[in-house]
């Protein structure tokens, strides 16, 4: 049977996990709601793999929410949201911005030189 201290830790951890779910993974907000300091949160997070996993899962709640908001904006005709979606999710279909930089612009063409010639140039 767990002692009172272990039971209190369990209750605090459960409160923190619930608060993390409600705050969509924002630690500071969850700690305020649960009435626990951030130091205590991170002590539990770094020493209890089960607690850590439960807290990490809250990140998915935030991502799901953000994605649902993005989809709503796309449905509402937001050009910016549509472009953002295509740039991040449509890369395999060619929706990628590329910047081509010519690093040889204004430089002499050395491609015809042998390795020995290049070494000699470097040593000058």
Residue 11 lies inside a defined structural domain of this protein: yes
Does residue 17 register a pLDDT over 90?
A: yes
pLDDT digits (tens, 9 = 90+) for 40-94: 999 999 999 999 999 999 988 889 999 999 999 999 999 999 999 998 888 888 8
pLDDT digits (tens, 9 = 90+) for 92-109: 888 887 767 777 777 888
How many separate domains does the chain show? 1
Between 36 and 104, whose confidence is greater? 36
For residue 56, the model assigns a pLDDT of 93
Between 15 and 107, whose confidence is greater? 15
What whole-number distance in Å separates Cα of residue 58 and Cα of residue 24? 6
Distances (CA, A) of 21 to 26, 59, 60: 9, 9, 10
Quote the DSSP letter at residue 113: S
Between 89 and 1, whose confidence is greater? 89
For residue 83, the model assigns a pLDDT of 92
Between 120 and 103, whose confidence is greater? 120
Residue 108 lies inside a defined structural domain of this protein: no
What whole-number distance in Å separates Cα of residue 67 and Cα of residue 56? 18
Residue 112 lies inside a defined structural domain of this protein: no
Helix pair angle (38-47, 4-22), 10° resolution: 100
Residue 13 lies inside a defined structural domain of this protein: yes
| Whole-structure pTM value | 0.59
For residue 15, the model assigns a pLDDT of 95
Residue 27 lies inside a defined structural domain of this protein: yes
Residue 51 lies in domain:
4-92
For residue 91, the model assigns a pLDDT of 82
Burial per residue of 81-96, b for 16 or more beta-carbon CB atoms within 10 angstroms, e otherwise:
beeebeeeeeeeeeee
What whole-number distance in Å separates Cα of residue 108 and Cα of residue 42? 56
Residue 105 lies inside a defined structural domain of this protein: no
Residue 109 lies inside a defined structural domain of this protein: no
| Nearest partner of 33 among 21, 42, 44, 46, judged by Cα | 21
């Amino acid at each position: 049977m767990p002692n009172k201290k272990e039971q209190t830790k369990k209750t605090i951890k459960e409160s923190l996990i619930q608060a993390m779910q409600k705050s969509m993974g924002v630690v500071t907000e969850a700690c305020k709601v649960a009435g626990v300091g951030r130091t205590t949160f991170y002590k539990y997070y770094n020493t209890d793999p089960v607690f850590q996993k439960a807290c990490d899962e809250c990140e998915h709640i935030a991502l799901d929410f953000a994605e649902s908001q993005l989809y709503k904006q796309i449905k509402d005709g937001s050009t910016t949201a549509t472009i953002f979606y295509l740039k991040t999710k449509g890369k395999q279909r060619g929706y990628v911005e590329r910047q081509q930089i010519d690093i040889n612009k204004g430089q002499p063409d050395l491609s015809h030189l042998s390795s020995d010639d290049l070494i000699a140039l470097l040593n000058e």
